[in-house]
């Protein structure tokens, strides 16, 4: 590679300063072009526009620093300040409903606007601008990398969350419940600690849907899920087991303790009401069955079966009550939920 003369080095330094100054003086213009390159209607303001603008300015200011001093390229390398800002911008754009292709389109417009601005304003016409072009492209390329990484990370996170949660209630889905109950039974055996499983469902839910409609039924399910969350510890897990049926896994919980938790949930549901589409305020009741491992059963499958039997008994006794499973299946061993 041929050595540059001192005069050429000085000239390039002056030009890099001039380019940085041009970008800095027109940073409002570039930020506006970037922000409005692809405008999407925001039905719901999930992200403050000022937050997006602030990050854009921080990235452009970082590019100015690189134009003046090549050593500042570290800002745009992975884990650098500007690189991290570009990742944040990707997350913000995704939260605003932008697709990855649209955000990449914004960067292409930014690149075009930057070079058009420099061609119009740059006084040095016959100087080799290869190094400065390389710096600008380095910044823009790494902004793209950060954005793609951000989108892929968020997308993967979303997919993982969707894979384990019920889309309506936000609780775990049946597949995740099956995994969790196996894990917790194994843990219960290993540490010799009790494990209680609660199964519950909404009383007369089919009649409810027939009278008020399925949208109202969805509202009832979401309302019930919200109440359940209020009574869970960090170590507990709740899942939508199927239809109007829910399952609660309570590690290190005896049958008596689980009975008290179930009673609190039953009473809270009985006392609460919610609005449906026609603004009518209504309520529902629930029936609950529970069993405890290892006292009532020998494995995860039988734990679910025992809880289900107790739930069936709760419905048979008149609904809106809590029933605990008993191996002896003796009437004296069934708890009446009205006392819970």
- Residue in the structure block whose two tokens are 């990050």: 55
Task: Assess contact for 33 and 110: CB atoms under 8 A.
Answer: yes
Torsion, CA 321, CA 324, CA 325, CA 328, rounded to 10: -110
Question: C-alpha angle with apex 77: 136 to 122, nearest 5 degrees?
Answer: 15
CA–CA distance, 237 with 40 (Å, rounded to integer): 38
Torsion angle of the four alpha carbons 31, 34, 40, 46, in this order, in degrees rounded to the nearest 10: -50
Do 188 and 195 touch, CB atoms closer than 8 A?
yes
Q: What is the DSSP letter of 75?
A: G
**Given the residues 244, 245, 252, 309, the one annotated as active site:** 244
21-25 long-range Cβ contacts below 8 angstroms, 24+ apart: 22/117, 22/118, 22/121, 22/122, 23/60, 23/63, 23/64, 23/67, 23/114, 23/117, 23/118, 24/61, 24/64
Task: Say whether 149 is catalytic.
Answer: no
The closest of 156, 243, 260, 235 to 206, measured between CA atoms, is: 243
8 A C-beta contact, residue 245 and residue 314: no
- Give 104's contacts (C-beta < 8 A, 6+ positions apart): 144, 147, 148
For residues 100 and 326, give the distance between their C-alpha atoms in angstroms, rounded to a whole number: 56
Could you give the residue numbers annotated as active site? 244
């Amino acid at each position: 590679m041929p050595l540059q003369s001192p005069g050429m080095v000085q000239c390039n330094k002056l030009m890099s300063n001039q380019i940085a100054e041009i970008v800095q003086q027109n940073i409002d213009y570039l930020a506006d072009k970037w922000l409005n390159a692809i405008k999407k209607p925001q039905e719901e303001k999930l992200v403050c526009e000022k937050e997006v603008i602030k990050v854009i300015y921080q990235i452009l200011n970082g590019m100015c620093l690189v134009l003046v001093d090549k050593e500042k390229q570290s800002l745009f390398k992975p884990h650098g300040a500007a690189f991290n800002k570009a990742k944040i911008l990707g997350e913000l754009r995704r939260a605003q409903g932008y697709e990855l292709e649209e955000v990449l389109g914004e960067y292409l417009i930014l690149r075009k606007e930057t070079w058009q601005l420099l061609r119009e304003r740059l006084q040095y016409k016959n100087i080799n601008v290869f190094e400065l072009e390389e710096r600008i492209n380095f910044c823009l390329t790494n902004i793209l990398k950060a954005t793609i990484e951000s989108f892929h990370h968020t997308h993967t996170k979303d997919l993982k969350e969707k894979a384990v949660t019920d889309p309506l209630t936000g609780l775990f889905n049946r597949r995740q419940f099956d995994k969790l109950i196996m894990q917790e039974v194994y843990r219960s055996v290993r540490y010799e600690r009790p494990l209680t499983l609660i199964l519950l469902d909404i009383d007369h839910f089919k009649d409810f849907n027939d009278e008020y409609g399925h949208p109202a039924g969805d509202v009832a399910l979401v309302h019930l899920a919200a109440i359940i969350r209020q009574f869970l510890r960090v170590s507990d897990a709740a899942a939508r087991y199927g239809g109007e049926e829910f399952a609660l896994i309570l590690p290190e919980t005896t049958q008596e303790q689980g009975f008290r938790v179930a009673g609190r949930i039953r009473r809270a549901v009985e006392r609460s009401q919610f609005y449906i589409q026609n603004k009518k305020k209504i309520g529902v009741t629930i029936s609950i069955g529970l069993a405890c491992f290892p006292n009532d059963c020998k494995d995860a499958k039988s734990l679910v079966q025992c809880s289900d039997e107790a739930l069936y008994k709760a419905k048979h006794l008149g609904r809106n009550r809590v029933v605990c499973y008993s191996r002896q299946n003796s009437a004296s061993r069934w708890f009446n939920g009205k006392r819970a």
